[in-house]
Amino acid sequence: MRNRIDMKTLQAFITVAREGNVSRAADILCLTQPAVSLQLRKLAQDTGLELSQRTPKGLDLTADGKVLMVKAEQVLGALAEFGQTAQRLTHVVGGQLRVGTVVDPSFIRLGTFLSELVEAAPELRTQLVHGMSGEILLKILREELDIGYFLGTLDDIAIVAGSGAVEKKGGVAYRELTRFRYRILAPARWESRVHGLGWAELARLPWIGTPRESVHHRLLLRVLEPLGIRQNCVTLADQEMSMLALVRSGVGLCLSRESIALHEQQAHGLVIVEDHELEASLAFISLQRRSAETQVELARRIMMRVWNIDA
C-alpha cells in the first residue's frame, strides 16, 4: 500500500457501496460528485485494487471491493466505539442530535422528552425536523436524521421504505411507545349521510386525501385495497389542522386520532362515523447499527422513561 488511508475516504467508499450510486452518496456526505469519485479513485490507487465497476444503475463492488467493504465498516465501527467510550468516561454527551417529529408535540410528549434530554446532556444540541412519519423514516435511512417518531407497525417500515433499502442500511431499531385509534370524521349534519355505511359506500363519498408518506394513506389502503376499492379523494392535505379545517368546511371525510375526533365532535359538531375504527402505533426509531452511539442510546433511554417503558 502506497499511502495511508484516511477515515473520510473510507466513509466515502462505504457510503457509495451502500447506496450503489455516487450521486446519492454525495448528497448524504454533503460533497460534490467529483469529490466522491476522486476519493474512490484514490482508494483504488492506494490499495492497488479494482474496488468497483459501473453498471447501468450505478456502481457494484468487485469481489475485492466487498472484502474491503467489510474491513472498512469494522475500522469505522471501532473508531466510533472508541469515541463513544471516551465520551462515557468523561460523562459529557455533546454534539448534535437530529430528531424527526410527527403530529403535535403534546401527543408525542416532545416537551417532556426535550426537557429531560437537556437536563441529562446540557452540551447536546438538538435539531427538530417535522414531517409525515414516512418522510421521517426515509430521512433516518438517508442519515439526515438520527432518531425519530414513526406512526405505524414494524411491518410498515418495510412497506414505506422497501425491504431492500432497510436491509442495505442494516435494519431499523423500532420501539413501540403507545397504541391508539383513528376514527372517520364527517362534516356537521352528515349523520344521515354516513349512518350504517360500509367501507365501499364510505369510499365513494368525498374524502380529504393524504400523501403516500402519511399514516392515513397506509391505514386506508390496508382496508380498501383487499376490497378492490379506491378512495374518492377530492383534495389533498398533509397537515392534520388543514384536514380538520376542510372537514369543518363541509368538503368531505378524513381520518383523525380519536382524541381529536371527540374534541371536534364536541367543539364543532363534526360527525364521528360509528363502527369504523383503525388501530395505529406510535414508535421511536433509529438505524439499528447506530443504536449504540452515545447520543442515540441516551435519547432512547430517556424516551423509554418518558413513556414508562422498560428500557
pLDDT at 48: 84
In angstroms, the Cα distances linking 172 to 19, 79, 180, 305 are 16, 22, 22, 21
Domain formed by 92-178+283-306, architecture: 3-Layer(aba) Sandwich (3.40)
pTM given for the model: 0.72
The CATH number given to 180-278 is 3.40.190.10
CA–CA separation, 145 and 159 (whole Å):
20
Mean pLDDT, rounded, for 241-256: 97
E strands in 23-87: 52-55, 58-61
Name the segment(s) of the chain with CATH classification 3.40.190.10: 92-178+283-306, 180-278
Give, in words, the CATH class of 7-88. Answer: mainly alpha
- Which residue shows C-alpha cell 372537514? 247
Task: Please give the grid coordinates belonging to residue 212.
Answer: 403516500
* Per-residue pLDDT tens over the stretch 5-57: 788 888 888 888 888 888 888 888 888 888 888 888 888 888 888 888 888 87
65 alpha-carbon distance from chain centroid:
30
CB 173 within 8 A of CB 286: yes
Positive/negative CA dihedral, 138, 139, 141, 142: positive
